[in-house]
Chain A
Amino acid sequence: MKGSMVLCGVGGMGILKASEVIAHLVVQEGLSVRQSEVHGMAQRGGSVVTHLRYGEEVFSPLLFRGEADFMVAFEELEALRYLPYLRRGGTVILNRLTMCPPGFDPSHYPKHIPETLENAGFTVLAVPATDIALELGDIRVTNSVLLGVLSRVFPVGTEHSWEKALQKAFRGKALDLNLEAFWRGRG
């Protein structure tokens, strides 16, 4: 068993927390994990990416081009930006959210990103995770909705182990809401 994924979006969307949950999950299943993330200047509304690799024995915390089995994209443009890390035919969990970078004309924002990805041979699971999170009352649970969607196709972990991983990352009221968001995503 060996695999990897790339998570991407815009600073402040809960991407680091989502990677942390996945790291807990794979380790619970007896695998090792290496993950790398971005702190500091890049987080100020800029593009954010984390790499996650797991297996019996993992060394590098950084992905190779064309390696990742999965991508969890919190924003559509960012899915395109980190596409080179995804292997041909890989799966994209895509949040239906477009955020035009400040200072750019929205008419330059690429159109029909889900279709573009499908036409390039990727499997796309597109979900309005931010809308669902807002419906649940807190935009911050967007990440758990996306984790729910990922859990439908991710080869590691049972429902129970996903719940346990979420319990490690969240506490109290936040945990309840994140579990609810996870189940909405899992469907």
Chain B
Amino acid sequence: MEKQSPPWRVMLGNEAFARGAYEGGVEVAAGYPGTPSTEILEFLSHYREVHSRWCPNEKVAFEVAAGAAIGGKRALTTMKHVGLNVASDALMTLAYTGVNAGFVAIVADDPGMHSSQNEQDTRNYAFFAKVPCLEPANPAEAREFVRLAFAISEMFDTPVLVRSTTRVSHSRGVVEEGKRESVPTRRYEKRAEKFVMIPAFARERRKVLEERLKALEQWVEETPLNRIELRDRKMGIITGGVLYEYLREVAPEISVLKLGVSFPLPRRKIRAFASEVAELLVLEELDPVWEREIRAMGIPVKGREVFPGIGEITPDVLIECLFPEKKRDSVDLSHLLIPRPPTLCAGCPHRGVFKVLRDMKAVVCGDIGCYTLSTLPPLSAMDTCLCMGASISIAEGIKLAHPELFVVAALGDSTFVHAGIPPLIDVVYNKTPIVVLVLDNGTTAMTGGQDHPATGRTLMGEETHRLDLAQLARAVGVPFVETISAYEPKKIRGVLEKVRELSEPAFVLIQGPCQLKKPRGTVRRFRVREDRCRGCFVCLSAGCPALAKNAKTVVIVPERCNACGLCRELCPFAAIEEEKV
């Protein structure tokens, strides 16, 4: 009789992570949006049995989930690689306390920096914190590994990391679905010696951590997550994650040790594999984490001398490394191309303010969000962008170095709530006369529009208290607080001229809705009056994708225009007017 197969679906990797957590009996899930991890929690929020939430930042999210696990419910936290920097304080010591119910953190790396400010390898955190790390290769494994991660977490009483990468999170594949495990809530009991990390208790837990690591080192030798596939013995490659998928296509004949567990490493299995093959290579994306360990074991291995350590390793890169003589035949007409970089959308509320800042020759300390798109011409507005919330504190430092400069910090509403509040308090406390501009578009735009504490809605779609950002600024003691519409550049300029002369901190909230969240179908329409347009192209200097040059004048491309009216405000000759519809 034919076996009845379980139901399967084509799933995005991030949907499969959510499915795995759901099936694994997760009850609390918390995170902060960040490409390529965002959709995990969005998918999970569709399962009403799970309490899913966006938190102000990754540290809060990590700790909420950790608390739920300590309390006795299986808990998940999700974030991008740089988010774990923010949450790492909690990770390093949760490794000591251990958990109670299962605790899993899915962290998504972005090799090649498709949508990130740096490339960092989350496996380093596993070695650093001494916690196990699983590494799925595709959506099917994403589901399976997360499910298993909860069991491993409880078996060894440890937080478990699951490392994803862009090509696992943002690729689709066929995934078999299973049933949700029913996991009863564990008893909560006060255990200060386990959960209060005062030095006396922490010293004891430090030993527990080492013992746990020994037990994990035994387990990794036996788990089928680490798998030897012996084929041709001339060459063997140790790899994991999506690189395994590429390798199977590029060199199906090569022997492989596929590591599903990035840390700790199965040393006996590695030695056994090394003894079976004539030449041993290690293929890993980003840092030579495994290569260092394997070398330290005294096993001759090649890694970085064959594969690049910078950027994404694509199938084409892999072919070039393994078979440099193989040339793929393809047609390249790139000499005809013009680039198409991402831009601020037509009608984006960020455009006007950056045009004003550039005109005023302000030093603009930027932050993480869509508004980094104001860095490139024609706006060319931004001076710095480092990490979440750094706009304000970097601006303070530049002002200290050069008091004569007009220094402005510009950051979005979600980023401000994430990491902008402590530096704003510092501005007031240390009396640094800079301007903090919060560009409030009412959403976390860059990651696709997620709610946050200042939107008044939760991830589960409930109404909640809406954090009032201007009131918050007043509460921490900013002497000058003002709110302006994003579409009134003259007014923005007026206020900024005024605060430039002040020798005290200022907070200006610039409001305008994200165009991607705005309901479709606009009733307003703008046009250029050819009799008035003198072809000065001042309007083009704000870089709106709906404006184009037409011989001697400017035209508005109607299907691209979002009718924000900024160009009308910028035109010195009143040549742009609203049409009567």
A139 closest partner in B (C-beta): B559
| C-alpha spacing A121/B329, complex, angstroms | 13
Question: Shortest distance in angstroms between B293's beta carbon and chain A's nearest beta carbon?
Answer: 26
Q: Which residues from 98 to 124 on chain B have a C-beta closer than 8 Å to any C-beta of chain A? A: 114-115
Quick check: is A38 within 8 A (CB to CB) of the other chain?
yes
Quick check: is A127 within 8 A (CB to CB) of the other chain?
no
A61 close to B242 (CB less than 8 A) = yes
Chain B interfacial positions (CB closer than 8 Å to A) = 8, 10, 12, 35-36, 38-39, 114-115, 138, 167, 170-174, 242, 244-246, 248-249, 314-316, 319, 328-334, 336-345, 370, 373, 377-378, 446-448, 540, 543-545, 547-549, 559
- Residues 119-135 of chain A: 1 if any B CB is under 8 Å from the residue's CB, otherwise 0? 01110000000000000
| C-alpha spacing A116/B332, complex, angstroms | 12
Known pairs A80-B336, A102-B544, A102-B545; A41 contacts B174 (CB<8 A): no
Q: Which residues from 25 to 76 on chain A have a C-beta closer than 8 Å to any C-beta of chain B? A: 27, 32-47, 59-67
With A39-B38, A61-B167 already in contact, 8 other A-B pairs whose C-beta atoms are closer than 8 Å = A27-B8, A33-B10, A39-B36, A41-B35, A46-B340, A65-B330, A104-B338, A120-B333
A109 close to B370 (CB less than 8 A) = no
Known pairs A40-B36, A44-B344, A44-B345; A61 contacts B171 (CB<8 A): yes
A83 close to B342 (CB less than 8 A) = no
> A59 — which chain B residues lie within 8 A by C-beta?
138, 244-246, 248-249
Quick check: is A11 within 8 A (CB to CB) of the other chain?
yes
Chain A interfacial positions (CB closer than 8 Å to B) = 10-11, 19-20, 23-24, 27, 32-47, 59-67, 77-78, 80-81, 83-88, 100-106, 108-110, 116, 120-122, 139
| C-alpha spacing A37/B547, complex, angstroms | 29
Question: Shortest distance in angstroms between A174's beta carbon and chain B's nearest beta carbon?
Answer: 13
A34 close to B138 (CB less than 8 A) = yes
Question: Shortest distance in angstroms between B187's beta carbon and chain A's nearest beta carbon?
Answer: 41
| C-alpha spacing A139/B560, complex, angstroms | 12
Question: Shortest distance in angstroms between B126's beta carbon and chain A's nearest beta carbon?
Answer: 24
B332 closest partner in A (C-beta): A84
Pick the contact of A44: B246, B330, B370 (CB < 8 A): B370
21 contacts between A and B (CB under 8 A): A24-B10, A27-B10, A34-B173, A35-B173, A36-B171, A38-B114, A40-B447, A41-B115, A44-B345, A45-B340, A59-B246, A59-B248, A62-B314, A64-B315, A65-B316, A66-B328, A66-B330, A84-B332, A101-B340, A102-B548, A103-B377
| C-alpha spacing A121/B210, complex, angstroms | 64
> A65 — which chain B residues lie within 8 A by C-beta?
316, 328, 330
A108 close to B342 (CB less than 8 A) = no
| C-alpha spacing A29/B316, complex, angstroms | 29
B340 close to A77 (CB less than 8 A) = yes
A34 closest partner in B (C-beta): B173
Known pairs A84-B330, A102-B343, A116-B333; A40 contacts B115 (CB<8 A): yes
Pick the contact of A80: B39, B337, B544 (CB < 8 A): B337
> A60 — which chain B residues lie within 8 A by C-beta?
245-246, 248-249, 315
B316 closest partner in A (C-beta): A65
> A38 — which chain B residues lie within 8 A by C-beta?
114, 170
A64 close to B543 (CB less than 8 A) = no
Pick the contact of A35: B172, B337, B446 (CB < 8 A): B172
B248 close to A47 (CB less than 8 A) = no
Known pairs A41-B446, A77-B337; A62 contacts B246 (CB<8 A): yes
Known pairs A39-B448, A102-B543; A34 contacts B330 (CB<8 A): no
| C-alpha spacing A121/B330, complex, angstroms | 11
| C-alpha spacing A32/B328, complex, angstroms | 24
A25 closest partner in B (C-beta): B10
| C-alpha spacing A104/B8, complex, angstroms | 46
> A32 — which chain B residues lie within 8 A by C-beta?
173-174
> B171 — which chain A residues lie within 8 A by C-beta?
34-37, 61
B138 close to A77 (CB less than 8 A) = no
